Amino acid sequence: MRFLPILFVLMMLIVVLSPLPFGSNRPWAWSATALATGTMLFYWGMGTTLKNYGLALSSQRILLVAVPFSLVLIWIGIQLVSFSPSAWHNPIWQQVNGVGGLEVSGLISINAYETATAFMRLLTYGGVFWVALNLCRAPHRAYNALLIFSLAGFLYAVYGLVVEFNDTNSILWFKKWAYENDLTSIFVNRNNYATYAGLGLVVTLGLLFHEFRLVMSDRLDARRSILFIFESLSLRLAFLIIATPTFVTALLLTHSRAGLASTIVGVTVLCIASAFTKIAHRTRSLVLSLLVAGVGGALFTLGGQAVSDRMSQLDNSIGDRMDYYQLVVDKITEFPFTGVGYGNFLAASWSIRDQNIAVFWDKAHNSYLESALELGIPAALILVLTIAIIGIVCIRGIFQRNRDEIYSAIGIAAIALVGVHSLVDFSVQIPAVAIGFSLILGVAYSQAWNSKT
């Protein structure tokens, strides 16, 4: 086998297997995933050196996202070293210094092990993005990568539905210990799986739009468009058609309010973005979007009663959540520039207390606030800026590319979905979700650039 096909297989194995089990949200699982990603990057480095393969994009286009991401990585490294300015060190080290005769060096991070672990996970996501960016400049690899991701998500959705309808109340061979009445597939948390399923739905719909791109354009009249639909039927198209309601059903059975709402946002953005591509016919795209919305609404009506019930309870949970967010903001103001160390929200959360909030939260349930507390506001903004740059490039690609613009639409839809869900939850911090998200972003960013500019 040749170098590039082997590398593609390695990348997709990491992406497809990352949800097994529990979304890789266990130390041994994310460590194995990091090791596999490191091996993939080593193979990419050796291959590009020996085979003399160039980068898929120009250095200017790569630096656009590499520079801000690298700045965040450098800052996390500074959080881990003791020779940073002592004024930056967390006061906790002064409190423990000399206790029991033990002399310790101060750090910005309050727990270096957790920061190093989170650093490793972030490098894993960056590694998947990097390889996807370089491999998926070729349109056929971009399509195949997203198709395989869709297929994997479909199989995980089918597994979740089988478990749900058989009432086995398990995750693989483990008995469920949380969310027993909700579909979580091979994840533990229903909201985490809802984000993963939402990404699968966005990718599947995007590929479905790609298959019907001529129908959505003005290159065929109505009669020829109908003929084209029947003539283009294939096993691949049949899969995409079947996978779409499967994802929707699985999503509804998670009973995740935020998961459903953010997926609706993502699908809406996908439809709007698809309508503004150069090939799209506005009226036909609008009709297709309304059809997608109608099918989704019908499925929601048929199977979304539990979600509706949870939506009616929304007012009861908003109060506590807003109170807790305020406590997190207050904690951020204590270390606004340095943070408490990447990956250290749990360690810092013990000091975030209020007598009116009885439940202990080990996550902020807002990834933006959690990042600001851990990294400090400047580094957290730079991390968000990295994703925003990818989104801006994707928007540019939607308007400027003459072909394969659907990948840009999928990318901006995925960013919208994850970005909205991150306001109220932590799904993007789950390795399997982050790895799938990184793959989509890598494909979208690589395909967003016109080869002539």
Between the alpha carbon of residue 136 and those of residues 414, 441, 452, the distances in Å are: 17, 11, 17
Average pLDDT on 308-330 reads: 70
Provide the whole-model pTM: 0.90
Pick 365 or 372 by higher pLDDT.
372
Query: What are the tens digits of pLDDT across the range 24-83?
Result: 999 999 999 999 999 999 999 988 887 777 788 899 999 999 999 999 999 999 999 988
Q: What is the pLDDT of residue 204?
A: 96
Q: Which band of pLDDT confidence, cut at 50, 70 and 90, is reported for residue 304? A: low
Q: Which band of pLDDT confidence, cut at 50, 70 and 90, is reported for residue 448? A: very high
* Coil/strand/helix, residue 447: helix
Q: What are phi and psi of 170, to 5 degrees?
A: -145, 165
Mean pLDDT lowest for which of 5-19, 55-69, 125-139, 265-279? 265-279
Give start and end residues of each alpha helix (H) in 213-256.
222-231, 235-253
pLDDT at 84 over 70: yes
Q: In the chain, count H helices and then E strands.
A: 18, 2
For the chain, the distance separating the N- and C-terminal CA atoms, rounded to the nearest angstrom, is: 33
Closest CA to 440 of 405, 395, 410, 419: 410
Distance CA 351, CA 342 (A): 17
Q: What is the pLDDT of residue 303?
A: 52
The residue assigned the tokens 């994850």 is: 418
Q: Vertex 384, ends 383 and 390: CA angle to 5°?
A: 100
Amino acid of residue 18: S
Q: What is the pLDDT of residue 231?
A: 52
Q: What is the DSSP letter of 176?
A: P
Q: What is the pLDDT of residue 220?
A: 47
Mean pLDDT for the chain? 86
Residues of the chain with pLDDT > 90: what percent? 58
Q: Which band of pLDDT confidence, cut at 50, 70 and 90, is reported for residue 126? A: very high
Pick 434 or 3 by higher pLDDT.
434
Amino acid of residue 314: L
Query: What are the tens digits of pLDDT across the range 203-259?
Result: 999 998 888 765 555 554 445 554 555 555 678 888 998 999 999 999 999 999 899
Average pLDDT on 344-361 reads: 74
Q: What is the pLDDT of residue 402?
A: 75
207 Cβ partners below 8 Å, 6+ apart?
A: 143, 146, 147, 150, 240, 406
Q: Kindly state the helix (H) or strand (E) to which residue 290 belongs, with its residue range.
A: helix 282-303
328 Cβ partners below 8 Å, 6+ apart?
A: 352, 364, 366, 369, 370, 373
How big is the chain by its Cα radius of gyration, in Å?
23
Q: What is the pLDDT of residue 351?
A: 77
Q: What is the pLDDT of residue 298?
A: 61
Output the DSSP codes for 7-64: HHHHHHHHHHHTTTTGGG-SHHHHHHHHHHHHHHHHHHHHHHHHHT---SS-HHHHHH
